[in-house]
Amino acid sequence: MKINVPGVPPSLNEFVGRENCWEYRSQKRKWTAAVQWAIKAAKDKPEKTYPFAFVTITYFFPNRNRHDADNYAGKFLLDGLTRGGLIIDDDLKHIAVTIQGDYDKEHPRTEIKVVPYGITYYADGQPYVTIGERP
């Protein structure tokens, strides 16, 4: 499943050492809800929650500045995947995460791809493909 959310969440550096935790909470609420609602609105939402998944987060920044990957770890987004019912939990027992960055001045956005792994699909009662193995 692929989820697109307009914009890019703020860098975690914007919250480090700040006394005002309200801005962090506000941004967390905003981005978690955006992902949650994108899942609910999706036409291709799976019927069941993925027990294990590969999650790829790609940030399309509006500029070519340097962006540290660890400042865009995806906490707000992963919480949205969990609350939206797409993944069971966002702990490392249930997901493998990849973070990427790109540039799109015209349409900055965040794309989240979620692919189940360790899932075997059957045809005519016989297994015909297993997507990934648990890393």
36-86 pLDDT per residue, tens: 999 999 998 998 899 889 999 999 999 999 999 989 989 999 999 999 999
Q: Across the chain, what does the average pLDDT equal?
A: 89
| Contacts of the segment 25-30: beta carbons below 8 A, 24+ positions apart | 27/76, 28/75, 28/76, 28/79, 30/76
Q: Is the pLDDT of residue 120 over 80?
A: no
Rounded to two decimals, the pTM is: 0.85
Q: Which residues pair with 50 in a beta bridge?
A: 87
Q: Is 134 a residue whose pLDDT tops 60?
A: no
Cα–Cα dist 104/131, whole Å: 31
Say how far apart CA 22 and CA 94 lie, in whole Å: 30
* Triad 89, 94, 96: Cα angle to 5°: 115
**Mean pLDDT, residues 115-132:** 70
Report percent pLDDT > 70 for the chain: 89
Residue 18: its pLDDT value, please? Answer: 66
Domains of the chain with bracketed CATH? 2-131 (3.30.1330.70)
Higher pLDDT, 39 or 133: 39
